[in-house]
Structure 1
Amino acid sequence: MPTSGRTDPHLRRRLGVGDAVMIGLGSMIGAGIFAALAPAAAAAGSGLLIGLAAAAVVAYCNATSSARLAARYPASGGTYVYGRERLGEFWGYLAGWGFVVGKTASCAAMALTVGTYVWPAQAHAVAVAAVVALTAVNYRGVQKSALATRIIVAVVLAVLAAVVVAAFTSSAADAGHLAIGSDASVRGVLQAAGLLFFAFAGYARIATLGEEVRDPTHTIPRAIPIALEITLVVYATVAVAALAVLGPHGLGSATAPLADTVRAAGVPALVPVVRVGAAVAALGSLLALVLGVSRTTLAMARDRHLPHQLAAVHPRFEVPHHAELAVGVVVAVLAAVVDVRGAIGFSSFGVLAYYAIANASAWTLAPEEGHPPRVVPVLGLAGCVILAFALPVTSVLSGASVLAVGALVYLLRRRRAPALR
């Protein structure tokens, strides 16, 4: 096994159930809820809520598989570790490659989202400042990150609650907007589910931080479903509120769906509050993304798929400081020089490929290893494949290309050095 004989220092287990749930919430209740509803409504029309339900089912299966695997393998790296241990080195590597490359671009995009909301004229400068600040928070220890996430989640939930109250108490709300009409096609609903799925995908951050969770066999299986269930309730409530006020077509054409919702509800004073909430939510997503990418980078560096220097653990703060700094530098450079918000379709495809490998790994668990009900990884794997190929063609092509490049790099390295260690 790649793990045999490993002498790399390990991270300290500091996180309890509450901390893990908050990190999951910070990853899921992020900027996606402020932006994902509009493209999903454009795709599904009046079938938006069906798409949300489909995304939730796939997310539940993925979360259950990830939780069982994380309890079995409580180490940094998430599906990179599970794929490597259960399916073989190549599949773990492919999952890690897709995650690190795709999510690094997502980090830059999220940083630019912060800049766009905070100071549009200086979006790149604000984005770089956000990356530097959050890298510093992460560098000081995972407990500092968990505390920051608690504050962010509290602010975002308060803003979303204000949006929901404004919508449901408005005369503009119409229950007829929730009816499913002839505009809801199967492909449209699946595409909406694919778009909304990524709003749920943050529970992976709990598994990725498995090496820093106390009593992982107990904590992780509890934290992941709790975070997912809370997120589903929040998303469903917000989606119903926005649909009731704007209707499926109004929501689908909205550039800022929640800001448009409160404006249409007759409470324009809430628009600046929603903008602040979106910026804070983007910060929360960025914080969680950097945590996840740095931990997967750490795991891949331990196996020398990435430079081994990135496997270093800080002697005082007990975090993968070289990996965190490297990720921070790359994200800051990307956020400073390019606008990647419209060029990360491969990230969506890559995340679904990542979870497909997680479900395939969970299928191999034996009863004594705590395997989930067999229908869970089967449904999760099938759902990931279906949603991946229901995405826009450009996302499918770019995502498949990124995975193909990763596979080629792996094969070339194997050919040059059959024994990687």
Structure 2
Amino acid sequence: MNGRAIDMAIVGGGLAGGLAALAVSKGHPQMRIALVEAGDAFGGNHRWSWFTSDLDDDGAALLAPFAKTEWDAGYDVFFPGHERRLGSTYRSLASRDFDATLRRELPQDAIRTNSRAVELTPDGITLENGASLAARVVVDCRDFEPSAHLRGGWQVFMGRHLRTDTPHGLACPIVMDARVRQHDAYRFVYTLPLNANELFVEDTYYADAPVLDRDVLSERIDSYCQAMGWRGNTLGGETGILPVITGGDFTAYRRSLGQAGIVRAGARGGFTHPLTSYTLPFAVANALALARVADRPGPQIAALFEKRVHDHWRATRFYRRLGRMLFDAAKPGERYRVFERFYRLREPLVERFYAGRPTLADKLRILSGKPPVAVTAAIRALLGKGNPLVHERSQ
């Protein structure tokens, strides 16, 4: 390959890739790294949120440089038959602040935006413009690609950043408001009060098909805001379709990603919360793990991450089973009952569930009592295969 070789090329400047670059740069300032992103900004157009209980001290330290919106008074959930305020501290990070911090904290020669990688090998990458970059370690942190090797459903969402004409009066985030019409899916609205006159309102669906109709979702956000008494101007927004993985042949999926010797992390690598599509705790943990072994040969790091992701797949088996009951046992219009029942459980269990660290006692408690779906339907769902995660579409 032409050009001077670097120590590490990280492909994909989203959450996983950006945090990996930051952790390696901080832990090994002498290393030459490149954070290669196809777009013109790191993080795209997204917002990531998390509970402080999701992270240990090292994880919190990694996120410390980023400007965040913080809520220490807890958050609310609303369902047709239940509402509750939970006391967990909540945080949120906008992609524009993610991009600004990476540009400030990383060495300037590490920043490679507007650079689409078209080929990855264990010893370097080739860009769309034909240029190549030799590297001792190549890390693939690109976005998830739909795959027939995996099974499940989809989380479809549209978010809107709104500046209200008058103070909106919302003190805490509403993580789930499922009092809305369900529209043949588990639908809820997620709202963050960013300041006295700004809100982020997101309409989310656990849907069988990856269909995102922008006009329809925009109208539903309009209706929700009107019902809540919020009027104002739109400052921006985002849309997305994320996989909710309920099963599949994970070994075949990993093989389909390409040749061995490349470190694979992020959503494409399989590091997601199968039920919530949540990635932040895993992106943080992987970034720190990569920094600890960054001075080793690339194939050795790739082998370590191969073991790491298979351990993750085994550890999250419980969530995939719950996902199968959600998509294949519950009627679409009644899926909210699964979450309504869940939010009646003790708060420490809820925290461990979102962080991906449920205990055996937590799992037994979640499954005990009167189930929110018919037992026969649950058995059929657990014995079934589910739908392949393919054919992503939007309108």
Q: TM-score range by the shorter chain?
A: under 0.3
Structure with a larger share of its residues in helix: 1
Structure with a larger share of its residues in strand: 2
Q: Which has the higher contact order (CA 8 A, sep 6+)?
A: 1
